[in-house]
Amino acid sequence: MKSGDLGYLCTQSGGNFNAAGICSISADQLYNPFNGTPYVNDVITGINPASTAFLQFYPSPNVGSTFTSDNYRTNVPANLSSNGFDVRGDQYFGQKLFVTGRFTFKNIPQLSPEELTIPSSTYYEHVRMLVASGTYASRPTLLNEFRFGLTNDLSGTQNPYNGKPFTEGLGFADINDLWYNGLPEVDFSGETTGLTVDRLNSVGQSRTYGFTESLSWVIGGWQTNNVLTIHSGAFLTPYFTSGDPSGTGSGIIGRAQRPDRVGSLVPSQKNAGERILGSGLACPGGSCSIGEGGSSLPPIGRFGTSGVGILTGPGTIDWDTGLSKSFNLTERVKLRFEVSFVNVMNHLNLGDPDLKITDLNNPSAQLCGLGCITSAQGLFEFAGARQGQASLRIDF
C-alpha cells in the first residue's frame, strides 16, 4: 500500500483485473485526477517524492487486517516524575525580629507519546521559587510581617527528533529558518483522521513578583488583621490564527502563530482601551491571510519575529482586612464576633488584554480588539470586587 498499490480495493469487493489492468467493478477502479486515465491494477504512479517521503513515519500494520484504519498498536511509556528540594533558613535577631527564607527547586518531566513513529516528546516544567519574610514585634500586641516572593516558571516541550535534514531534503524552495524540529505539519483526513504531527518543540516562561504586608494588632481584646498584596502582571504573547504565512500548515487548523515585531508596543497613554500599541505588530508578509490565496507569499518557514512573553499584563493590588473579638458570656461559653473584607478598597484589578493582532481596536469607534481589556480579575485570583462578611460564633 505504501508503494501505491491499492489493488485490494478491487479484489476485496470480489472483482478482478483484466489483461489491461482494469477492475471489473467500475466503482473500485482508480483514475488519474489530472488526465482521467485509469491506473493499471489500481497502482498509483507519479506520486511526488516529497509526499512519499512522509510514509517513513508510518509503521507497518501489526493488528488485524492491513487495509483497516485501526491496524497498528504499541505500548509506549508515559512516565511522570517530580524532582525537587526545599532549602529554608530561620534566624532570630534579638527578641523582636524574626527572619526566614525559603528556596524551592522543582523539575517535572513527563514523557508524551507522539503519533506515527516520531519519538516521544518530553513535557517539562521547571519551577524556581524564592520567598523571604521578616516579622517584627514592636510590642506584644502589635505584629508586623513583610513577605516578598519571586516565582519563575519555565515550561515547554522537547523532542529528540531532528527533522531539519528530512525537510531540507524534500526539495521545497525558499526554505528559511526551520524553527522547532524542522518537521512540517502533517495532517491527514479520512481514514487517518487524528494522525497529526505538529512542530515538536515549544517553550513558555512566566515570572511573577509578589509583595505582601501583614499587620496584626490586638488592643482592648480587639484583634485586627491586614494583608496587602502586590503582584506583577503575567508575561503575554501576541498571536494570530488566520492564514498560513509560514507555509508549514500551522494556520490551517487555527494554531496560534507569531506576528512580526515592527515597532514600539507601548502606547503614549496606557489604559484599558489601549494597553498595546497595535502598530508595533504586523503579519509576516504583510497579510495574515497569505497562504489562503495571497499573491506575495513569504519564504516557506518564515515565521514572525515577535518573541514569547514580550508583553506584561496588568498587575494586582489587593488589601484584605479583618476585625474580631471574643466576649465571655459565662465561664465556659464565649461569643466571638468577626468581620472581614476582601479588597476592602475595592481597587479595580484589570484582566489580561486581547492579544490577537487581527482583532481591530478603535476605542473612538467602539471597537475593542488588540490591546483592549474587557474584564477584571476575579475572586479566584484574590483580586475581585470588594466583598465582606460578618459572623457570630459561640464557643463552648
Pair 46, 128 in one domain:
no
119 touches 159 (CB < 8 A): yes
Pair 106, 7 in one domain:
no
User: Residue 225: in which H helix or E strand, if any?
Assistant: strand 222-231
Residue 27 lies in a domain: yes
186 touches 134 (CB < 8 A): no
Pair 137, 162 in one domain:
yes
Residue 109 lies in a domain: yes
Pair 233, 121 in one domain:
yes
Over residues 211-250, the pLDDT tens digits come to: 787 877 777 778 888 888 888 888 888 888 877 776 666 6
278 touches 357 (CB < 8 A): yes
C-alpha span between 135 and 100 (Å, rounded)? 9
The rounded mean pLDDT for the chain is 81
Choosing from 44, 77, 110, the residue where a domain stops is: 77
User: What does DSSP say about strands 260-261 and 281-282: parallel, antiparallel, or unpaired?
Assistant: antiparallel
Over residues 196-211, the pLDDT tens digits come to: 555 566 666 677 778 7
Residue 19 lies in a domain: yes
Domain range for 182 is 93-395
Residue 158 lies in a domain: yes
Lowest mean pLDDT among 267-276, 322-331, 375-384: 375-384
Residue 40 has pLDDT above 70, yes or no: yes
**Number of domains making up the chain:** 2
C-alpha span between 246 and 260 (Å, rounded)? 12
Choosing from 46, 77, 108, the residue where a domain stops is: 77
Pair 271, 370 in one domain:
yes
The b/e string for 99-116 (b: 16+ C-beta within 10 A; e otherwise) is eeeeeeeeeebbeeebeb
Mean pLDDT over 320-325 rounds to 89
Over residues 123-170, the pLDDT tens digits come to: 899 999 999 999 988 877 788 888 888 888 888 888 888 877 887 787
Instruction: Please give the grid coordinates belonging to residue 306.
Output: 515577535
Share of the chain above pLDDT 70, in %: 82
Q: Which residue has the cell 516562561?
A: 205
Predicted TM-score (pTM) of this structure: 0.60
Residue 166 lies in a domain: yes
Residue 323 lies in a domain: yes
Choosing from 45, 77, 109, the residue where a domain stops is: 77
**Residue of 146, 139, 186, 149 lying closest to 167 (CA atoms):** 186
SS3 134: strand
Pair 118, 219 in one domain:
yes
Over residues 72-127, the pLDDT tens digits come to: 888 888 899 999 999 999 999 988 899 999 999 999 999 988 877 888 888 899 99
